[in-house]
A and B are shown apart, each in its own frame.
Chain A
Amino acid sequence: MKASIRDEATLATVVPVDTAAYLRTRGWREVDRKDLLYAVWVNSFAAGDFEILLPLDRGFRDYTLRTAELLSTLELAEGRSQLEILRDISTTFADVIRIRAQHEASKDGSLSLQGGVSLVENARELLLAAACSTVSKRSYFPTRKPDAALHYVEKLRMGQTERGSYVMTVQSPVPPTLQGALFPDEDLPESAEPFERQVTKTLMRAIAALREAADESAATGDIRPFQEAVPLGVSANLCDALVGLQEGTDSEWLEVGMSWAPARHMTASTIQSRVRLPREVSPVLQEAGRIFKQVAPLEEITLQGFVTDLHREDSRTGTITVSAVVGDRFRKVRVDLDAGDYDRAISAHRERLPITCEGDLVREGKGYALKNPRSFCIQREED
């Protein structure tokens, strides 16, 4: 499509640093520069040698005109449409997630309004799930999400939708790789990369793992492939978000694709940048999500039961075992208590009174443990 961008408002949004980063990633070289005024970039293409005058200040009265010229030059040089180039420039500093829903009714590029609402909501859930898994690999993130994950989701942007079935884009800003860093990204562990990039990597790795697990699980009828994929970022939340996306849009298949930000070097090239999930995997994902939630830690529950064991090695803390109903039967749950609560536990044990304690119930080895215990109290008969 040949379309010259002449809209002043659109042109004014192009940021010089974005353009410079774009040019650099595309092999252009800066050959001249007058600080605060302009920079001259050159590059050779099949179509010939090109030169670009990049205004460095958006305050120039002829900024939009110069930007329009720059886009026409790039269009000629790269043989791509200005719209495409403009989109790439504005997302130089962002990983772009493309969620594509394919179904009959979207052939004209539209989607039911309700489907759109679901698409947006579940896209957010999808990214939130990946962000949670980046913080810690767990099979289920119930109500309370890690701050880092919530903070990350706040910074996400919804891009322009694109044609081709129905494509929603989400921009995940990521800091650029700077030249001259002490260690190149390849030499650093993934955990040293910016959190934003860790999340997008986790997302793609997890969806690919989920796709494989779904196939395996469907063949064997076993939940284990899903559980084995948890360290790769699979969670009940991820399953739910994908099921939500598929059901909400009633799509034949759903595709999640990623364009890595050009300004941030992409390490780990083994990560797939596009995964397609056909409609038929949805029920499997749904079931996996349900099972994950059953066995996942139960946060903020109130445990009620009898102290059956007391164990103390130093004067500050002690560990007790409580026999309590968990799910549908009695189970032994370990609880680490501070000195005061431990003394109360001793009294309860002596007087054979039940106790209650709030906390997060998790599986530990073959048993259970109550983490972050609080509001420990003895239930006396008059209560």
Chain B
Amino acid sequence: MKTKNYDDLRGEGFLVPRILVVVTVPVAAQEWLSQSEEEMILRHCGYWVSLREAPATENTHSVTVDIPRRNVFDVEALRRLMEM
């Protein structure tokens, strides 16, 4: 991600906490959504990470951020985040 965005999400001082959510989608866009009478499928999922304690960077252009795979951005995770 761009260094500016990284810095916007990083550190303390926000009234409303910030998290980074990355949504993965199929490489071929047409595979993203499929629907039938039984179900509607949006392929792949979102992952979240808090950059609150992330270190400052000397990169001028972009920064690579690791997101743990267990941080799936689902209903459960959102509930837990809202209660923190």
Query: Chain A residues in contact with chain B, CB under 8 A?
Result: 37-38, 53, 55, 57, 59-63, 66
Q: How many residues of B contact A (CB 8 A)?
A: 6
Chain B contacts of A61 at CB under 8 A? 11, 13-14
20 residue pairs A–B, Cβ–Cβ below 8 Å: A37-B15, A38-B15, A53-B15, A53-B16, A55-B15, A57-B15, A59-B13, A60-B13, A60-B14, A60-B15, A61-B11, A61-B13, A61-B14, A62-B14, A62-B15, A62-B16, A62-B18, A63-B15, A66-B15, A66-B16
* Besides the known contacts A38-B15, A60-B13, 5 further A-B residue pairs in the complex with CB atoms under 8 A apart: A57-B15, A61-B11, A61-B14, A62-B15, A62-B18
A60 to B17, CA, bound (A): 11
Q: How far is the CA of A37 from the CA of B16 in the complex (A)?
A: 10
The CB with the most chain A CB atoms within 10 A, among B11, B16, B18, is that of: B16
What are the residues of chain B within 8 A of A62 when measuring CB–CB? 14-16, 18
Q: Give residues in B with beta carbon < 8 Å to A.
A: 11, 13-16, 18
Docked pose: A66 CA to B15 CA in angstroms: 8
Give the distance in Å from the alpha carbon of A57 to the alpha carbon of B16 in the complex. Answer: 12
Complex alpha-carbon distance, A37 and B15, angstroms: 7
- Residues of chain B lying within 8 A (CB to CB) of residue A60: 13-15
* Chain B neighbourhood of A63, CB < 8 A: 15
Residue of chain B at shortest CB distance from A56: B15
Q: In the complex, what residue of chain B is closest to A57 when comparing beta carbons?
A: B15
A72 CB to nearest B CB, Å: 15
Q: How far is the CA of A53 from the CA of B18 in the complex (A)?
A: 16
Interface centre among B14, B15, B16, B18 (most CB of A within 10 A): B15
Looking at the assembled complex, report how far the CB atom of B68 sits from the nearest CB atom of chain A, in whole angstroms.
25
Q: Tell me the minimal C-beta distance from B10 to chain A in angstroms.
A: 10
> Using Cβ atoms and an 8 Å threshold, which residues of chain A touch B11?
61
A300 to chain B, nearest CB (A): 59
